[in-house]
Amino acid sequence: MTALMEQGEICRPIGFVPTMGYLHQGHLSLVHRARQECRTVVVSIFVNPTQFGVNEDFDSYPRDLSRDLEMLEPMGVDIVFCPPVREMYPDGYQTFVDVEQLAQILCGARRPGHFRGVTTVVLKLVNIVKADLMYMGEKDFQQCVVLETMLRELNQACRIIRCPIVREADGLAMSSRNVYLSPEDRQKASCLHQAIQLAQRLCRDGKDKADEVIPVLTELILSRGGQIDYIAIVDHVSLQPVDVVDTRSRLLLAVRFGKTRLIDNGAIA
């Protein structure tokens, strides 16, 4: 801890990377950016039970702390914070944070209570870590918008630094949940990125109406065996559907392959 103190002061800015562990290059890209920009870097590894629904994968979520610590070893992280569940949520815990509208749509509509768990744990972590900057991936686009809203509306000084999506060679966005995919589903799942690229091509060719683009993407994903949770083209701030695609629009996808639910997104204009 003394290495982090300078004349009794913690070296700021403190850059914070919250994760649920089972790290991959997407997570490490956030740590790398934080290391470049901050004097102190804190990474948390915490599989947060309150953001999982009752029938979701909290128990089976992939965990491997020693592998995670090995991956972080060369990254120059100052603190890895891995709190036990009972420390974050002692018996009788009863305080939650809700971002009302933004948390009810898209992933929030399919995963009731999910964002309430996310906002609650992230506010607790930001307060514990005393983070100045929080590094988050645009892979979880709605999460970025919800958390920025929460930090702003609750007068938190911490700011989110959004980082680009890191992808596998075939375009699949890296995710800890990709390990659930069977080899066949893993191959099929590359259609999410193909759908984003197809939407970009359609828009370049002047097909910029959401109700022209979405059916074409639907057909592509269904033909590859994906079960669509939603395909939406939304305003990047309000997350409300748009009729015509422009530079403020974002394509958001949530698709199941087998039992695995994947999300992806991209700008398409």
Per CB under 6 A, residues contacting ligand AMP are: 19-20, 26-27, 29-30, 136-137, 139-140, 163, 165-166, 173-176
24 catalytic, yes or no?
no
Residue closest to ligand AMP (Cβ): 137
Q: Which is nearer to ligand AMP, 136 or 239 (CB)?
A: 136
Q: Which is nearer to ligand AMP, 136 or 214 (CB)?
A: 136
Tell the residue number behind the tokens 């290495």, with chain if given: 3
Q: Which is nearer to ligand AMP, 20 or 106 (CB)?
A: 20
| Residue 66 C-beta: closest distance to ligand AMP, Å | 17
| Residue 6 C-beta: closest distance to ligand AMP, Å | 29
153 burial via Cβ count (<10 Å: 0-12, 13-18, 19+): exposed
CA atoms within 13 A on the CB side of 95: 7
Q: Which of 245, 250, 239 is nearest to 109 (CA)?
A: 239
Q: Which is nearer to ligand AMP, 22 or 242 (CB)?
A: 22
Q: Which is nearer to ligand AMP, 19 or 40 (CB)?
A: 19
| Bridge partners (DSSP) listed for residue 161 | 135
| Residue 12 C-beta: closest distance to ligand AMP, Å | 21
| Residue 8 C-beta: closest distance to ligand AMP, Å | 32
Catalytically annotated residue among 24, 27, 32, 114: 27
| Residue 178 C-beta: closest distance to ligand AMP, Å | 9
Active-site positions read 27
